[in-house]
Amino acid sequence: MGVGEAVIFLGPPGAGKGTQAARLSAELGFKKLSTGDILRDNVARGTPLGRQVKPIMDRGDLVPDELILALIREELAERVIFDGFPRTLPQAEALDRLLEETGTRLLGVVLVDVPEEELVRRMLKRAELEGRSDDNEETIRRRLEVYREKTEPLIQYYEKKGVLQRVDGLGTPDEVYARIRAALGI
């Protein structure tokens, strides 16, 4: 046991986690496990889960931990990059247990740091390009509030464990990507 490896991408909505996680997972041969993407796919297909979470996502609130943890257990792979998970302390604690049980080593937690004005600008631009229904100004404000309240405490949680890598998320995608690889040393 103990052959698995995992990386976590942490950071506010709009920081570019998804883009960077996609590139890193493709280049390293890791599975990208994005809870937001899985939920959006369920909403698009109109599954029972999708119908349940759509109003929550449209408000910018978080989906209950139990639902998210069930998804994670289903989708876990040996080499995985988590994008947008964990987002609450109970999720982080559950992930610790899961990694322990499966003998998976946490290579690092990347915090993609971007100032708030820039986050809003990026999300409004993404709204034009991708038409995500939660990329409107009101929901964006709510998502940032939820991030500060529920997810920001994870920064300290992982800092205490000595696994947090802060990366400046401003600049071109290539620049940010190079910083991430350097920070993780992979």
Q: Which residues sit in the known binding site for AMP? A: 35, 40, 61-63, 84-87, 91, 132, 143
**3-class secondary-structure state, position 131:** coil
Smaller CB separation from ligand AMP, 138 or 178: 138
The one catalytic residue in 54, 87, 122, 179 is 87
Q: What is the DSSP string of 68-96?
A: HHHHHHHH--SEEEEES---SHHHHHHHH
Is position 141 annotated as part of the catalytic site?
Answer: no
Helix axis angle, 35-45 relative to 65-75, nearest 10°? 100
CA-wise closest residue to 158 among 3, 6, 16:
6
Catalytic residue among 31, 79, 132, 181: 132
Which residue in the list 17, 32, 54, 122 is annotated as catalytic?
A: 17
Give the number of other CB atoms < 10 A from CB of residue 168: 12
* Residue 84 beta carbon to ligand AMP: minimum distance, rounded to whole angstroms: 3
87 noted as active-site residue: yes
State which residue, 20 or 35, has the beta carbon closest to ligand AMP: 35
Q: Which residues are annotated as a binding site?
A: 14-19, 35, 40, 61-63, 84-87, 91, 126, 132, 143, 171
Nearest residue relative to ligand AMP (C-beta): 36
Would you call 132 a catalytic residue per the annotation?
yes
Return the structure tokens found at 24: 């890193």
HSE at residue 113, side-chain half, CA atoms within 13 A, is: 7
3 versus 47: smaller Cβ distance to ligand AMP: 47
CA distance 13 to 33: 16
Which residues in this chain contact ligand AMP in the complex, by CB under 6 A? 13, 35-36, 39, 56-57, 60-63, 68, 84-85, 87, 91, 134, 143
User: Measuring CA to CA, which residue among 161, 174, 157, 70 is closest to residue 107?
Assistant: 161
17 is catalytic: yes
Compute the least distance from the CB of residue 85 to ligand AMP, in Å.
4
Q: What are the catalytic residues?
A: 17, 87, 126, 132, 143
